[in-house]
A and B are shown apart, each in its own frame.
Chain A
Amino acid sequence: MSDPAVHESFLVHRGLKYFKLALLIVVAAVVAYIWHRPLGAPNGGTWLGYTLGGLSAAIVLWLTWFGVRKRQYALGATRLKAWLSAHVYLGLALVVLTTLHTGFQVGWNIHTAAYALVLLTVASGIFGIYVYARYPRLMTANRAGLTLNGMMTQIAELDQEIRESSKHLPQEVSEALLRAAQETCIGGGIFRKLSGRDPACPTGKAQRLMETKYAETGIDDPNIGKVIALLVRKSNLLRRARRDVQIQAILRIWLFFHVPLAVGLLGTLCAHVLAVFFYW
């Protein structure tokens, strides 16, 4: 734990070593592209085109290998961080390398599909960097020491207490409270998870019902005040629990793009290389 490298961000890992490496590759590629005067328009079929394409393909394969490497826990977290740092910067370098490889020629074909998948995969990766820089902190703050399971346990306990305190309340109210206890849920479909809210939450409805109802008549039964207070606590917990699910979903959803896009790219890359040599 005393190793300072453990707390160093992968973005600045070892004095931006991989950033500099990626920058070097990009600058070399751009200089070569400007210097190179091919026969006809620049394209992927010149010697520089093949070089850039081969280099890009090798980088794509290596970047994809990260999916395997990150599961090899025995190889150590620090070196994994080096891998991640290189993964990010070489991935970004890929945008320039593949663009030059295309010679700025695009069309409706498998070759441009591969190029587009590179761009989309890198874009989803950039979103991933942003997400990992921002949301873990927000998640810790939102949880304040509780886990999602802990919040749900407290919510269940509050339901129990609300039930005990609301035995003698009017029919209309106790029905709303029963629904709040039996139908309130956290999360749901992917969009519900990502929204972090449930506009039709039975607990919120019950709370609003009681607040409006007793704002007019006034509170004579001490149980009513207690139930409202419990509902407020439950609503707050629900809000935090849903926010927790929202953050977890955001932390995960970019991978639903990044990984399938990357694997799709792998297949498209195979098709791209095959096509080039099949119809040579």
Chain B
Amino acid sequence: MKVLVRHMLKKTRSGGYAQRDEIVEAPSIRFGRGADCEIHLADPRILLHHVEMTERPGGLFLESLGSIDFQANEKLTSAASLKPGDSIHLGPYDLVVLEPEDGVDGAFSLEYARPLGDDLTALQARSNVDTSRIGIGIRGWAWLMFLIAVGIGIAAPVASHFSKTGGIDPMASETRNGGMETLLARADEVWLSGPVSGVHAHFGGQCETCHVNAFEQVANTVCTACHDDAGHHAEPDLFPVASLEGQRCGSCHKEHTDGNDLTISGETFCTDCHNELSTVAADSRLKDVGGFESHPEFHPTVVKSHDPMVFERLEIGAQPGPVDRSNLKFPHSKHLTEKGMRSPSGEGRVQLVCGDCHQPETGGVAMLPVRFETACASCHRLQFEPSAPERVMPHGDVAAAKLFVEDTYAALALRGGFKAEETDAPAVVRRIVGTALTEDQRQEALDWADSKAAEVLDGRYGRGLCGQCHEIDNGDGLRDWSVAPVHLTTRWLPKGYFTHRAHKDRTCTTCHAAPDSDNSRDVLMPSVAVCQDCHGGEFASGKTRTACTDCHGFHREDLVPAQPSSSAALQWE
């Protein structure tokens, strides 16, 4: 179809219109705001596709394309046939059907009769439909966030760092008490990546204590300023693979991670090497261990010889078993016999228990050394003269004991009145007490005392009495004997920690087979299997989880410090 569109443009002063004619040719003519419409109506009140004009037998036909009706001759409708003279309102547009001219199928005029008015302008002015701003635009908010982040996260902490002096003394009281409390001084605490470990918490807020220079890792000298005795893990010359030289303390001791423990307790840290130690240290004589389940048998350190003093490590459970040469004779079985021991008072029998002799030290870790005076003396009284039971030899010093015996008989002889069962005592000794002696009689009495003392000391109540419990060194002649020095072991396993306190609720015999030991040379350390009854490795189930570090330390106290001390490194020293 082909139609003539007469655009009625601006009204002239005389009331007429400026006109522009346009020929539109299309199968159908659509009116709308859309760019693809044949007749483009730009007003926003018009739909993209508003109405469509088609040619039908009998003339032109107008039909609504959307949900909005149009007015044809003042009547709302959604479809209408058009004949010349009809007036159509399409929103703000007025359309009047004209008589078709030659060569076209139809003609109409089109006028933009009701342009957007003041009401619209006013409504738009009152309304706020702009969604591109909430106070300020997105960009503004973004800048604000960025500046806050950079201000709090970078500018303030950096300023804080440079306002302070590094390498301060962590033990100084002003540091411990929190030191500078100004906001700027504490601004770098936002950089704290995790809680300061418990042991370092007392200078926690002072980052510069350890972080002395920017962009430098914490130096070992900062650590060794306090911790200057952490030994090597193995002899660095023999086992360079385990040497800690050139290592950073912080590589293993991680500060600012969760938890308060700065030391590594993970089993794999040890078993990485010790599971198959020969692969990293071929010369090592240590046995492989892959966790507590596979812990090798204990090898307690025992005395091999006393002169010179030599120790050896012998395996528990080996045949023959390890022998400890303490120079004491002490059959545990005899003392712990179920019959009990004869009471020192002579009335009945007493049943001894371990605790009668073995008492824990105050911390409960180890046992106090067994002392004669507290543990033995109540039964083993060092009496030697039946007629003078109040005379008790001192313990612990053989020379003093010998002197005491000699003095005792000298005093008895000089005083008189000595009544021995034996009748060979001279008369000067058995005289009435208080009788004065002549010089010759004195000499006779002292000669007797001397020989009596020698007899006792070399006999049952001297050498024999000491020899009940002690090894005796035979001297060159009579009375020259002495008691062999006693070596009581305080630590069977010097490279391991053990605390009795944690085990105090078990009976002693759970681990120590003392009632069956009839020789003090027996090493009453339990086998590792006894420990393994209750303890498993770090990941054990059904047993107490026990990591290597529960018993062993990494830094050996007996070796030289792994890191040089930094006495001169920090300016406060």
Contacts and interface: CB of A to CB of B under 8 A. Distances in A.
B128 A278 contact: no
Contacts, number: 197
Contacts of A153: 43-45, 116, 120
B128 A189 contact: yes
Interface in B107-137: 114, 116-117, 119-120, 122-124, 126-132, 134
Given A181-B119, A260-B145, A267-B145, A278 B215 contact: yes
B153 interface: yes
A271 B154 contact: yes
A193 interface: yes
A156 B146 contact: no
Interface string A145-161: 11111101111110110
Q: Size band of the B side of the interface?
A: 35 or more
Nearest to A111: B193
A41 B257 contact: yes
A113 interface: yes
A74 interface: no
Contacts of A78: none
Contacts of B158: 278
A280 B190 contact: no
Given A145-B47, A152-B127, A248-B129, A37 B268 contact: yes
B459 interface: no
Given A37-B266, A39-B266, A160 B145 contact: no
Contacts of B207: 279
Nearest to B65: A145
B217 A280 contact: yes
A156 B118 CA distance: 8
B128 A188 contact: yes
Given A160-B119, A259-B142, A270-B150, A105 B126 contact: no
Interface residues of A, number: 68
B129 A148 contact: yes
B192 A107 contact: yes
A191 to B, nearest CB: 10
Contacts of A264: 142, 145-146, 148-149
B141 interface: yes
A256 B141 contact: yes
B129 A184 contact: no
Given A109-B191, A278-B158, A278-B191, 20 more contacts: A39-B251, A39-B254, A43-B193, A43-B254, A113-B153, A150-B45, A152-B127, A156-B117, A190-B134, A193-B128, A248-B129, A256-B138, A256-B141, A259-B142, A262-B142, A267-B146, A271-B152, A271-B153, A279-B211, A279-B214
Which 7 A-B pairs have CB atoms at the shortest separation, nearest pair first?
A271-B153, A267-B149, A264-B145, A156-B119, A156-B120, A275-B191, A263-B142
